[in-house]
Amino acid sequence: MNIGKFILRRLSLQIFVLIGLTMFTFILMFGLPGDPAALLFSAGGIAAGMDEYHAFRAKWGLDLPMWKQYLNFVGNLIRGDMGTSLVTRAPIIDNLRAYFPATIELAFVSFIFATVMGIPLGVISALKRNSWIDHVIRAVSLFGVSMPIFWLAIILLIIFYYYLGIVPSSQRIDLDMEIPKHITGFYLIDTIITGYWDGFFNAVHHLILPSFILGFSVVGLLARVTRASILEVISQDYVRTARSKGLQEKTVIGRHVMRNALIPTITILGLLVGGLLSGAVLTETIFAWPGVGRFAVQSIMLLDRLAVVDVTILIGIAFSTANMIVDIVVAFLDPRIRY
Amino acid sequence: MVDQEITLRPQKNTFIELINAVKINPPAVFSLVIIFIYVFIGLFGSMLAPYEFDEMGVGSPLQKPSWEYLFGTDEFGRDVFSRVLAGGIISLRIGVLVVGIAGTFGSLVGLVSGYIGGWIDEAVMRITDIFLSVPDLVMALVIATSLGASIDAAIIGITLVRWTGYARLIRSGVIAEKGKDYITASRALGLHPSRIIFKHIFPNSYTATLVQATFDFGLAILFASGLSFVGAGAQPPEPEWGALVASGRQYVRAAWWIPIFPGFAIFGAVLAFNILGDTLRDFLDPKLRHSMDQKH
């Protein structure tokens, strides 16, 4: 299969998956027993009689059959309208626009941290196999994947916030600081554009602990895969050939081993993004980080069904697009992988 | 007929080999001991507990850990140690149910879809794609919430995101196995497909599933604690460990022991299953074993 055909096939799969996802989450949130309007009314949000109740249902299209509601929802979604929250009465897309960059910023810094730590640790671990340093690295990666991320966050907050007082405990920027002007929504970029250096360093300060914790939760995964794939490549015949023709060890590892060993590592980067987005839900909750993860949790608590559907679809789009890009990159790097 | 079947199947004595390998592997022994302790706590924890887990005022509130209150007391003067012990059965049940249901259902789907192939296989794979299009914890969170935020809702949520792993694993095993001579021979002998699937293909492709199940036991406990932590799983007063960490979080400044000990219980359980899973994988993957034995 040539690469163009492969990309086309992968894109159509992506579209199919996203349609399936909207259907699944929609049915999940709206198809189950429980009438969102009745819930709202009984929650005391609106004091009203039956007339208002029916008028409310008609206004928000809640009296339509399920499939019509779904088609309306998808139609609006395609036009970029994610609907209005029945709970907050605000257009949900405004919330997501404000919160999404916060999550991406956190996840991106964590991603950098995880890659810069995880890949070298995996390489060292593989090259010094069965030495004490290999055992230490493997133990640390095992701890990272086994630790509840919210528990690690609490421990580090006790040490670095309550006890040492060297990091902030919540938010993206100090409350008494001016919030950076919204250009991209990424504080690190916006503060640089506007030359607001105090804001930049403050934002970095706020990012350190949450991104370390989030990154640490996936470092282990990265180190383990890197280690395993290097060990697999290093015992191949062509590596022995490279050695026996007298190449320096540095060249053998750098040119022959690393290039092939990195493919499995790149393959799991998609998985890594999933781990980061999952972890972001918990990390954001702990650090009162105003991102989509915390928004999802808040919407869930408020029984804001449409907001939950929207945020799930947004996270789904981000995650499956990351996976698609990884698949295509890997297909470019390794012509044998064209499925 | 029966004799023929036995000679057609590749011979393995995995189980005996496995026991011998575990015996000489200290981390595996360590993890098995820890898992045994957790199971013991799960089954008998409430009997061992010095106090009732929800009994308020057994000591004065927010007491430091001491011999009387091993893990201290919480804001209502409840004994944190007793609460952690009482949480054991909840996590044990979560692990057993998630792995049991997701493993059985996913394996069945994988066996059937891999063996039959064609459009059924294609449809099943696209369904797993949909489940895999959202990060697992987020998906479990949405499902658990829509089912009403309880431990059972969390179990269903985690099961629904985990079955796909088994389906894909078993399916690829089946496809690899399907073309081999002994299967063709069984077919030629006129064996019923269900007999071929369960008697021949499954025994030769379940090992990876065993590894997956071991990892998933820990993962289920970890995920459930995360769901409870954000309020989509166990609800107070249920002493699920994640819920205990969540409710103790606000007192962390005055009483670090309230969230730290339940969190440690989660960590220990997940770690033990991860170590055991690693050992099993190293053992059951002959390719890996080979490359580990090689010296340069």
> How would DSSP label each residue in B182-224?
HHHHHHHTT--HHHIIIIIIGGGT-HHHHHHHHHHHHHHHHHH
In 3D space, the residue among B53, B229, B263, B272 whose CA is nearest the CA of residue A158 turns out to be: B263
* pLDDT tens per residue across span B235-265: 988 999 999 999 998 888 888 999 999 999 9
User: Mean of the pLDDT values across residues B75-99?
Assistant: 93
For residue A124, give the 3-state DSSP assignment.
Answer: helix
How far apart (Å, rounded) are the C-alpha atoms in residues B78 and B60?
A: 8
For the cut 90, the answer to whether the pLDDT of residue B198 exceeds it is: no
Does A44 score more than 60 pLDDT? no
pLDDT of residue A321: 92
Q: Which residue has the tokens 């009689």?
A: A49
Query: Chain A interface, mutation test: which of B38, B94, B122, B130, most A Cβ atoms within 10 Å?
Result: B130
Cα R_g (chain A), whole angstroms: 24
Give the range with max mean pLDDT: A116-125, A177-186, A305-314: A116-125
pLDDT at residue B285, as a whole number: 67
Question: How far is B186 from B198, CA to CA, in rounded Å?
Answer: 12
Q: Count the neighbouring beta carbons within 10 Å of the beta carbon of residue B135.
A: 27
pLDDT of residue B53: 84
Per-residue model confidence (pLDDT) at position A89: 80
Distance of CA B29 to the CA centre of its chain: 18
CB contact under 8 A, A235 and B291: yes
Contact A308 B229 (CB under 8 A): no
- For B182, list phi and psi in degrees, rounded to 5: -65, -25
Radius of gyration of chain B (CA): 23
User: What whole-number distance in Å separates Cα of residue A307 and Cα of residue A95?
Assistant: 9
Q: Which of B35, B133, B282 to mutate to test the interface with A (most CBs of A within 10 A)?
A: B133
The long-range contacts involving B12-18, CB below 8 angstroms and separated by at least 24 positions, are B12/B204, B14/B207, B14/B284, B17/B283, B18/B280, B18/B283, B18/B284
Measure the CA–CA gap between B69 and B58, rounded to whole angstroms.
9
Tell me which H or E stretch contains B293. Answer: helix B286-293
Confidence of residue B5 (pLDDT cuts 50, 70, 90): very low
CA closest to B221 among chain A residues: A148
- Residue A185: both structure tokens together: 């929504």
Report the mean per-residue pLDDT for chain A.
86
When pLDDT is cut at 50, 70 and 90, the band that residue B76 belongs to is confident
Distance CA A310, CA B278 (A): 38
Q: Looking at per-residue confidence, does A198 or B7 come out higher? A: A198
CB contact under 8 A, A282 and B275: no
Mean pLDDT of all residues in B19-35: 82
pLDDT band at A281 (very low <50, low <70, confident <90, very high): very high
d(CA A151, CA A282): 10
The percent helix, strand, coil of chain A (3-state, each to 5) is 75, 0, 25
Mark which residues 24-63 of A lie under 8 Å from B by CB.
Answer: 24-25, 28-29, 32
Token couple for A173: 């920027």
Under an 8 A CB cutoff, do A315 and B291 touch? no
Check residues B30 and A58 and name the one with the higher pLDDT.
Answer: B30
Taking the C-alpha atoms of residue B257 and residue A260, their distance in angstroms, rounded to an integer, is 47
Give B-chain residues touching A274 at CB under 8 angstroms: 135-136
pLDDT band at B1 (very low <50, low <70, confident <90, very high): very low
**pLDDT at residue number B162:** 94
A42 band by pLDDT with thresholds 50, 70 and 90: low
Q: What percent of chain A has pLDDT over 90?
A: 40
- So what's the pLDDT on residue A33? 60
Which of the four pLDDT bands, split at 50, 70 and 90, describes residue B137?
very high
Average pLDDT of span A137-165:
93
pLDDT per residue over A118-128, tens digit each? 999 999 999 89
The beta-carbon neighbor of A158 closest among B149, B242, B256 is B256
Residue A231: its chain B contacts at CB < 8 A? 288, 291-292
Residue A166: what are its φ and ψ, rounded to 5°?
-105, -5
Give the pLDDT mean for A94-110: 93
- Of B141, B275, B287, nearest to A296 by CB-CB distance is B141
pLDDT per residue as tens digits for the range A240-275: 888 888 888 888 887 888 888 888 888 888 889 999
- Mean of the pLDDT values across residues B86-115? 94
Lowest mean pLDDT among A42-56, A140-154, B58-72, B112-126: A42-56
Burial of A111 (0-12, 13-18, 19+ CB in 10 A): buried
| B30, B146, B214: best to mutate for the A interface, most A CBs within 10 A | B146
E strands, chain A, are none
Contact B226 A29 (CB under 8 A): no
* Contact pairs from chain A to chain B, CB under 8 Å: 146
* Average confidence score pLDDT of chain B: 85
pLDDT at residue A1, rounded to an integer: 63
